[in-house]
Amino acid sequence: MDNFASPQPVLEAIGLTKTFRVRPDRIGAKPRYVHAVSNVSLRLSPGATLGIVGESGCGKSTAARLIMQLLDRDEGAILIDGEETANGRAALRAYRRDVQMVFQDSSASLNPRLTIEASIMFAPMVHGVSRDEARVRAHELLGKVGLDPARFAGRYPHELSGGQRQRVNIARALALRPRVVVLDEAVSALDKSVEAQVLNLLQDLRAEYGLSYIFISHDLAVIRHISDEVLVMYLGQVIERGPVADIFDAPFHPYTRALLASMPSHDPAARTLSPPITGDPPSPIDLPPGCRFAPRCPQAADVCRARMPELLLKDTHAAACHLNDPRSGHPVFEEKAA
């Protein structure tokens, strides 16, 4: 049995798939298809942080937008407390109360003409909370994110630093008292020292409000610091997932290994000399059959190019690679048998 099954996940996504059709660059050419997210499933345990990591363009933000239902999925389902979310405006409104999002760009996501207080009060008021109650909530949250309401409530976004604006965005996401927060590169634009402060704040808030996070980042060090479970994505697919210690201390998938090998170490003596991932930069357009990592994988064999490996679970750790399955027909197993 899959250990991700217990306890009952607060949020679950099954088989999320999104393909974008892009217009051909010249008349008469065939349309092209971007396989941004292919069959992505995840389970978020109550109070946990699920990290999603992968190179730029691997589909993290598209997955986040599908989970937020900001984007229609081609296939798949989203469940809250084991119940599939219904269609329609009322269901989406209820979903928005439970699941909120923080984006990377702190200046673009705040209305420049609204005071900080008004920005945080906006969503609760839309959801029927009285103005007075919304103001009380906004001031409480400003205090929680480390911005003294007496000093900050009346300020405008341009009067704040990037780190302060991101604290406001976090307060705003919490104003509807959600249970799940999806953070898409939420600290990626911040200076390293500010980033550490915001990460610590997020961990405090998670404990205090009983939140669960889906934390998306291309930065392995940040993912390692904050996550309980990790999903590694490559070209729209989950290629490995497991508890954070398994992923970082015993990575299985050749892509995860390559990613970790290219991770800068803080200890100069431990810095690896292994080359970064080689091969063409990935593009999710017009994908070949078989393993999507095969063009860059040092262990690619014919079976890899012919058949797509399934995400195979062993104990708590799953990897989609023919090397993970002795029956796959990968030559590495035939050599061992001989």
Ligand X SMILES: Nc1ncnc2c1ncn2[C@@H]1O[C@H](COP(=O)(O)OP(=O)(O)O)[C@@H](O)[C@H]1O
The contact set with ligand SF4 (CB under 6 A) reads 253-254, 291, 293-294, 297, 299-300, 304, 309, 321-323
Contact flag: residue 256 with ligand X (CB under 6 A)? no
Q: Which of 113, 94, 64, 80 is nearest to 10 (CA)?
A: 80
For ligand X, give the closer residue by CB, 59 or 309.
59
223 binds, among Mg ion, ligand SF4, ligand X, none (CB under 5 to 8 A by kind): none
Length of the chain: 338
Q: Is 127 helix (H, G, I), strand (E, B) or coil?
A: coil
In this chain, which of 45, 61, 106, 217 binds Mg ion, going by CB under 5 A? 61
Residue 139 contacts which entry, ligand X, ligand SF4, Mg ion, none (Cβ below 5-8 A, type-dependent): none
Counting contacts by CB under 6 A, is residue 137 touching ligand X? no
Q: What is the DSSP string of 242-278?
A: EEHHHHHHS--SHHHHHHHHTSPPSSGGG--------
Q: Which of 61, 217, 256, 328 touches ligand X by CB under 6 A?
A: 61
Taking CB within 5 to 8 Å according to partner kind, which of ligand X, ligand SF4, Mg ion, none is near residue 291? ligand SF4
Find the shortest distance in angstroms from Cβ 282 to ligand X: 9
- Interior CA angle at 78 toward 75 and 81, to 5°? 160
108 binds ligand X (CB under 6 A): no
Determine how β-strand 237-243 pairs with β-strand 32-44. Answer: unpaired
Identify residues 34-53 at the interface with Mg ion (CB under 5 A): none
With binding defined as CB under 6 A, does residue 56 bind ligand X?
Answer: yes
Give me the sign of the Cα torsion angle 188, 190, 192, 195.
negative
Give the residue with the Cβ less far from Mg ion, 274 or 283. 283
The three-state (H, E, C) secondary structure of 283-323, written as one string: CCECCCCCCCCHHHCCCCCHHHHHCCCCEEEECCEEEECHH
Nearest distance in Å: CB 307, ligand SF4: 9
* Residue nearest Mg ion (C-beta atom): 61
Give the DSSP per-residue string, 169-230.
HHHHHHTT--SEEEEESTTTTS-HHHHHHHHHHHHHHHHHHT-EEEEEES-HHHHHHH-SEE
Residue closer to ligand X (CB basis): 57 or 146 = 57
- Please identify which residue in the block is written with the tokens 């490995």: 240
Q: List the single partner that 322 binds among ligand SF4, Mg ion, ligand X, none, CB under 5 to 8 Å by kind.
A: ligand SF4
**Could you say which of Mg ion, ligand X, ligand SF4, none residue 57 binds, taking C-beta under 5 to 8 angstroms by partner kind?**
ligand X
Residue of the chain from 9, 59, 157, 290 that contacts ligand X (CB under 6 A):
59
DSSP label at 145?
A: T
- Could you check whether the bond before residue 7 is cis, i.e. omega within 30 degrees of 0? yes
R_g (Cα) of the chain, nearest Å: 22
20 makes contact with ligand X (CB under 6 A): yes
d(CA 156, CA 113): 7
Q: Which stretch binds Mg ion (CB under 5 A): 54-62, 139-147, 296-304, 305-313?
A: 54-62
Instruction: Looking at residues 282 to 301 of the shown chain, list those that interact with ligand X (rule: CB under 6 A).
Output: 284
Give the nearer residue to ligand SF4 in terms of CB position, either 112 or 331.
331
Minimum distance between the CB of residue 46 and ligand X, rounded to whole angstroms?
Answer: 26
- Which DSSP string corresponds to 65-126? HHHTTSS--SEEEEEETTEEPPSSHHHHHHHHHHEEEE-S-TTTTS-TTS-HHHHHHHHHHH
Binding residues (CB under 6 A) for ligand X: these are 20, 22, 34, 36, 54, 56-62, 284
Binding residues (CB under 5 A) for Mg ion: these are 60-61
